[in-house]
Amino acid sequence: MAKRDKIGVLDLQGGVHEHVYHLQALGINPVRVKEAHDLDDLAGLILPGGESTCLIRLLNIFGIAPKLKEAYADGMKIWGTCAGAILLSKEIENEQAQLGLMDIAISRNAFGFQVDSFNTKVEVPKVAKGEIDLTFIRAPKIKSVGSDVEVLLKIDDYIAAAETENCLATVFHPELTPSLAFHKYFVEKCGIAVTNGVNIMPDRTGWMKYARITSPNTK
């Protein structure tokens, strides 16, 4: 088995940069996975939120999907967020499964439209002490899990986070909140120590801070 000591983020479509920033805040310099050979030596891979049908199409076009499955079988762990969780699932309601690496049944866009997106705070004891910020954007719902899957978070009638020994699935977007808890949890799940003690994402300077907002009558 090859030595695996790096964390990667699939960089084909979706919320790539936010995951990269969160990992960098933990002291991790992630690999941006654009080609199959980028999977070499990865201890873990994050499949970001985005559009799952677009992501699986690109994974197949660029020949990454077969190598991803090989790397997974060789010990690489995978975390799917939102669309990434859909990619991982073995069953998608009214659709064909895609990568099918995790024994979960999922319902796409289960919360409705973009305007139905929301933020909340919850406790996930296995991941962190205290409450964690969560952001749901056109999120799927995990409706059921197999016997080898541990539920990390259940809200109302659906499962929001679950894991196996080698997979983590979250239907929300931890990368869109200041909390680093889930990223730290995944990095440590991959056997990589996080030593800098940072728990909250440092503030980033937004371009709007410097933008001059004008109207047609403003000079």
Catalytic site residue 183?
A: no
Cα distance between residue 26 and residue 200, in whole Å = 9
The burial class, CB within 10 Å (0-12 / 13-18 / 19+), for 165 is exposed
Question: Sign of torsion, CA 125 129 131 132?
Answer: negative
Active-site hit among 18, 22, 82, 163 = 82
Q: Is 82 a catalytic residue?
A: yes
- Least Cα distance to 177 among 115, 131, 111 occurs for 131
Marked catalytic residue, from 19, 22, 173, 183 = 173
User: Of these residues, 167, 175, 183, 190, which one is catalytic?
Assistant: 175
What are the residues whose beta carbons fall under 8 Å from the beta carbon of 188, sequence distance 6 or more?
Answer: 194
Residue 16: phi and psi, rounded to 5, are -75, -50
- Can you tell me whether residue 200 is helix, strand or coil? strand
Q: Known catalytic residue: 175? A: yes
Q: Which residues carry out catalysis?
A: 82, 173, 175
